């Protein structure tokens, strides 16, 4: 007989990618999580996870199917319990692309929690590659990300389009110009956002013009790009932009249009195609759309 406890522990382990991390989140012992998963696998007669030593748990194809079913069962239970006024709050798992998080996610979260005060949001910061995998496997309900590298199995709704811009210190020689070209950027030391898919996406416009920027520094953080550029360490190209054009250490950053810029980058709300969104995820998606009034949901 499958219990709700087993389903809760299975979903938590799938989302955390580790029995230990799932136990920490649920405030239970790690053996409790592992035992529940083994019991489920025994009843199904096949594994839900591949055990990878030192790398955690990876869902099997069968595990991906059962995860979607388990999450729908738990979603229905939450709504059933909430109708009596005694049930748990609604919950969604929301992934976001690391570089857009600081500028995009907080106002979206604020709106979500204002309009759905009973909602609990499990956040998952990812690079583009990990984000696609999490969506495909049903580990997360929704994702806020750029429309880059998403497979055909992922549905996406365009929320807004960001235009690329050059980033440099306020006293950089190029900062005196109203705009710059890719060729001009390539002549100066370059700071690269070094994340899977992101690095290639940023470099392709240069390569298409036969340019090879001198990448001297790499970082996974947009805030680090701003700070390093503000301190005169190099120039960069970004899509997400700080509202006050200041680095974290208080130095001004010059952000200039790029004359021969590549196409703008679309921010999308993404979710797995062919999978029923939970009621909480549907409601959250509707609120996210309303935060971007010109969103294209077609």
- pLDDT, tens digit, 9 for 90 and up, residues 35-57: 999 999 888 999 998 887 766 78
**Do 90 and 120 touch, CB atoms closer than 8 A?**
yes
Burial class (CB in 10 A: 0-12, 13-18, 19+), 69: exposed
Residue 7 in this model has a pLDDT that exceeds 50: yes
Tell me which residue of 154, 184, 155 sits closest to 168, measured CA to CA: 184
Q: Average pLDDT of the chain?
A: 87
Residue 169 in this model has a pLDDT that exceeds 70: yes
Structure tokens at 33: 């999580």
Cβ neighbours for 228, distance < 8 A, ≥ 6 positions apart: 191, 217, 219, 234
Helical H segments across the chain, by residue range: 4-16, 19-26, 30-44, 61-83, 101-115, 128-136, 182-186, 198-208, 222-230, 279-291
Q: Indicate the angle between helix axes 19-26 and 30-44, nearest 10 degrees.
A: 120
Residues belonging to the chain: 298
**% of the chain residues with pLDDT over 70:** 91
| Strand 165-169, strand 154-162: pairing | unpaired
Lowest-pLDDT choice from 166-170, 242-246, 249-253: 242-246
List Cα–Cα distances, 222 to 97, 98, 228, 239, in angstroms: 11, 9, 10, 10
What is the pTM (predicted TM-score) of this model?
0.72
Q: Indicate the angle between helix axes 101-115 and 222-230, nearest 10 degrees.
A: 130
Which residue's structure tokens are 């600081």? Answer: 102
């Amino acid at each position: 007989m499958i219990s709700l406890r087993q389903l809760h522990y299975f979903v938590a382990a799938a989302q955390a990618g580790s029995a230990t991390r799932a136990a920490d989140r649920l405030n239970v012992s790690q053996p409790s999580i592992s035992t529940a998963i083994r019991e489920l696998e025994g009843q199904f007669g096949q594994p839900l996870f591949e055990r990878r030593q030192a790398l955690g748990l990876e869902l099997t194809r069968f595990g991906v199917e059962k995860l979607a079913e388990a999450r729908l069962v738990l979603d229905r239970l939450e709504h059933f319990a909430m109708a009596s006024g005694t049930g748990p709050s609604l919950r969604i798992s929301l992934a976001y692309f690391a570089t857009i998080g600081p500028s995009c996610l907080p106002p979206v979260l604020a709106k979500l929690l204002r309009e759905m005060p009973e909602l609990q949001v499990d956040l998952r910061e990812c690079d583009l590659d990990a984000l696609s995998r999490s969506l495909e496997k049903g580990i997360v309900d929704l994702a806020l990300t750029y429309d880059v590298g998403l497979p055909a199995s992922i549905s996406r709704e365009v929320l807004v389009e960001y235009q690329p811009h050059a980033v440099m210190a306020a006293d950089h020689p190029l900062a005196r110009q109203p705009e710059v070209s890719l060729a001009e950027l390539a002549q100066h030391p370059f700071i690269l956002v070094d994340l899977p898919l992101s690095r290639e996406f940023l470099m392709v416009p240069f390569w298409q013009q036969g340019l090879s920027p001198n990448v001297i520094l790499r970082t996974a953080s947009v805030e680090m790009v701003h700070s390093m550029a503000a301190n005169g360490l190099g120039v960069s190209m970004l899509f997400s932009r700080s509202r006050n054009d200041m680095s974290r250490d208080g130095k001004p950053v010059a952000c200039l249009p790029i004359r021969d810029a590549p196409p703008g980058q679309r921010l999308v709300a993404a979710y797995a195609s062919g999978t029923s969104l939970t009621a909480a995820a549907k409601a959250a998606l509707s609120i996210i759309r309303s935060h971007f009034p010109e969103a294209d949901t077609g």
